[in-house]
């Protein structure tokens, strides 16, 4: 080997490039390796560390993608780039290509939230608003697709930039998912785990289309306006009460108070009569027979007539029979939209179920009743 060959060999070793990226940040997802005119020398060394991928782009087209390892950049290691360039027997130094290093580690605990309230329709409370927030984790699953579809020519693509894109996608899919769930409004906060899993399944294909893997998705809280919370609490209490027994108990207490407020002999007689009625009411309330052994009404005071029997109604919701409930309770169910004018109602004495609007005594729920004509002179 001649002197010039030795010098040429020595110089070629001295000028072999090392293509690598040492990440000194916590938020960089893609970094473009900067070279003068994007020129890389033949047989340059490519170093891809754990948690990285190297993506080669030639004239705007995706070429080769390298996983962690150390490579000598030759035609055999760059088959796609060689095809794009039309090299059949190798390439001469230098060659041009853009190299993007992609951070493939997991990005955990990213925050998301609804900037504006999400509008939902509830059967009982009508249009309502909720807000939600939580966290999610992601990583780049397909570096080549991510560089082409999201990064473009951005030389330093950060976590903040990708999060702005992902948050909009998350809020859109979250709104669609809770709308299709069609749960009672109070159950959204109680089913965050199930909603989180459903949202992740819905969002995963959208993330994968741009080369991102959604590893975890959590809904931490679902909130609603304070006035709606109060309505839900009150509705829950009323729904647990037996309104027929409650009205009987209130009537008995009212009669007892009236008897105490009366004075003189008439008051004493009324008190004894009211005491008998109270005993009957309380006995009926507790499911026990009422006795009047300790109260003897005066001979001059006639016994009061028995209280009229209360009509109880059954109603249908979602194909299920509910009730029985009193007239007042049925009116409350109509007011809070649990039932409507077309809901099927049945009471003792009816041969078949009938819509609420066709039952005479319930037509007053609908409003706008027309008075009968005035009598003629």
> What pLDDT score was predicted for residue 298?
53
- Rounded to whole angstroms, how far apart are CA atoms 242 and 202? 42
Q: What is the mean pLDDT of residues 282-299?
A: 50
**Gap between the Cα atoms of 309 and 191, Å rounded:** 43
Please state whether beta strands 212-223 and 61-66 pair in parallel, antiparallel, or not at all (unpaired): unpaired
| pLDDT of the residue at 304 | 74
| 303 falls within a domain | no
Asked whether residue 223 falls in the same domain as residue 259, the answer is no
Q: Is the pLDDT of residue 140 over 90?
A: yes
User: Phi/psi of residue 323, each to 5°?
Assistant: 110, -170
Q: Which residue has the higher pLDDT, 43 or 295?
A: 43
Q: Give CA separation, 274 vs 123, 246, 303, 345, in Å.
A: 44, 18, 10, 35
Shared domain check, 42 and 153: no
What is residue 13's predicted lDDT score, i.e. its pLDDT? 45
Same domain? 70 vs 143: no
Write out pLDDT tens, residues 108-124: 888 999 888 888 877 77
Question: Which run of H or E residues covers position 251?
Answer: helix 243-261
Task: For CA atoms 319, 325, 330, 333, give the dihedral sign.
Answer: negative
**Is residue 223 domain-shared with residue 173, that is, in the same domain?**
yes
**Which pLDDT tens digit goes with each residue over 316-374?**
988 889 889 999 888 888 888 889 989 999 999 898 999 998 988 888 888 755 556 77
Residue given tokens 């008190």 in the structure block: 271
Q: Are residues 131 and 211 in the same domain?
A: yes
Per-residue pLDDT band for 45 (boundaries 50, 70, 90) equals very high
Q: Closest by alpha carbon to 307, among 265, 330, 273, 262?
A: 273
Q: What is the mean pLDDT of the chain?
A: 78
**Strand partners for 96:** 39
For the segment 252-260, the average pLDDT, to the nearest whole number, is 73
State whether 114 and 12 are in the same domain.
no
231 vs 241, residue with greater confidence? 231
The answer on 321 and 263 residing in a single domain is: no
**376 is a domain residue:** no
Q: Is 241 exposed, middle or buried (0-12, 13-18, 19+ CB in 10 A)?
A: exposed
DSSP three-state, residue 93:
coil
Same domain membership, residue 89 and residue 30? yes
Nearest to 157 by CA among 210, 206, 217: 210
> 238-254, pLDDT tens digit by residue?
555 555 655 666 677 67
- Residue 166, domain CATH: 3.30.479.30
Judge if 146 and 218 occupy the same domain: yes
d(CA 79, CA 87) in angstroms, rounded, equals 9
237 within domain boundaries: no
Q: Two tokens at 270?
A: 């009324």
Is 197 in the same domain as 139? yes
Q: How many CB atoms lie within 10 A of CB 222?
A: 21
- Tell me which of 51, 75, 103 is where a domain ends: 103
Q: Is the pLDDT of residue 47 over 80?
A: yes
**Are residues 279 and 334 both part of a single domain?**
no
Helices (H) and strands (E) in the chain, counts: 9, 18
- The pLDDT of residue 230 is 76
Confidence class for position 64, pLDDT limits 50, 70, 90 = very high
pLDDT of residue 119: 83
The verdict on residue 295 lying in a domain is no
DSSP string, 233-245: HHHHHHHHS-HHH
- Would 298 be classed as within a structural domain? no
* Residue 336 within any structural domain of the chain: yes
In terms of Cα–Cα distance, which of 203, 223, 222 is closest to 213? 203
Count the domains in the chain: 4
Structure tokens at 208: 């994968």
Q: Contact 312/244 with Cβ under 8 angstroms?
A: yes
- What average pLDDT score do residues 270-292 get? 50
Distance CA 198, CA 229 (A): 25
- Does some domain include residue 14? yes
SS3 (DSSP) at 35: coil
Q: Which of 178-192, 244-258, 277-291, 338-352 has the lowest mean pLDDT?
A: 277-291
Structural Rg of the chain based on CA atoms: 40
Of the residues 103, 124, 141, the one at which a domain ends: 103
Among the candidates 71, 86, 103, a domain finishes at 103
Alpha carbons 162 and 151: distance in angstroms, whole number: 9
Tell me how far apart the alpha carbons of residues 128 and 185 are, in angstroms, rounded to a whole number: 8
Give the range of the structural domain holding residue 118, as residue numbers without chain letter.
Answer: 107-229
Residues 196 and 249 in one domain: no
For every residue of 18-34, DSSP letters joined together read EE------SSEEEEEEP
pLDDT higher for 172 or 298?
Answer: 172
18-19 vs 28-33, strand pairing mode: unpaired
- How distant, in Å, are the alpha carbons of 73, 149, 305 from that of 99? 12, 16, 98
Tell me, what's the pLDDT at 268? Answer: 46
């Amino acid at each position: 080997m001649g002197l010039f060959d030795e010098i040429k060999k020595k110089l070629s070793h001295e000028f072999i490039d090392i293509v690598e990226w040492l990440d000194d940040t916590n938020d960089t997802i893609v970094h473009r390796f900067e070279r003068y005119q994007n020129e890389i020398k033949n047989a340059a060394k490519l170093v891809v560390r754990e948690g990285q991928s190297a993506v080669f782009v030639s004239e705007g087209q995706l070429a080769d993608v390298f996983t962690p390892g150390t490579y000598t950049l030759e035609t055999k290691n760059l088959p796609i780039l060689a095809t794009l360039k039309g090299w059949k027997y190798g390439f001469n130094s230098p060659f041009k290509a853009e190299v993007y290093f992609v951070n493939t580690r997991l990005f955990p605990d990213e925050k998301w939230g609804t900037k504006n309230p999400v509008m939902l329709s509830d059967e009982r409370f009508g249009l309502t608003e909720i807000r939600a927030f939580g966290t999610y984790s992601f990583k780049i699953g397909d570096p080549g697709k991510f560089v082409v579809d999201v990064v473009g020519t951005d030389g330093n693509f950060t976590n903040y930039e990708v999060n702005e894109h992902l948050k909009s996608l998350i809020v859109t899919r979250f709104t669609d998912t809770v709308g299709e769930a069609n749960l009672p409004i109070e159950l959204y906060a109680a089913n965050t785990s199930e909603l989180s899993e459903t949202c992740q399944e819905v969002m995963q294909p959208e993330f994968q289309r741009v080369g991102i893997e959604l590893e975890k998705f959590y809904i931490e809280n679902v909130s609603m306006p304070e006035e709606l919370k109060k309505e839900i609490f009150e509705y829950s209490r009323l729904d647990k009460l037996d309104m027929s027994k409650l009205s009987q108990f209130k009537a008995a207490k009212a009669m007892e108070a009236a008897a105490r407020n009366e004075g003189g002999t008439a008051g004493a007689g009324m008190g004894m009569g009211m005491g008998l009625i109270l005993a009957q009411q309380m006995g009926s309330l507790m499911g026990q027979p009422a006795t009047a052994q300790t109260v003897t009404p005066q001979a001059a005071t006639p016994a009061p007539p028995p209280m009229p029997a209360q009509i109880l109604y059954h109603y249908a919701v979602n194909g299920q029979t509910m009730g029985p409930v009193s007239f007042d309770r049925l009116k409350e169910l109509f007011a809070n939209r649990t039932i409507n004018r077309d809901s099927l109602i049945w009471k003792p004495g009816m041969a078949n179920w009938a819509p609420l609007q066709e039952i005479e005594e319930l037509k007053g729920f609908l409003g706008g009743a027309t008075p009968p004509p005035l009598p003629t002179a």
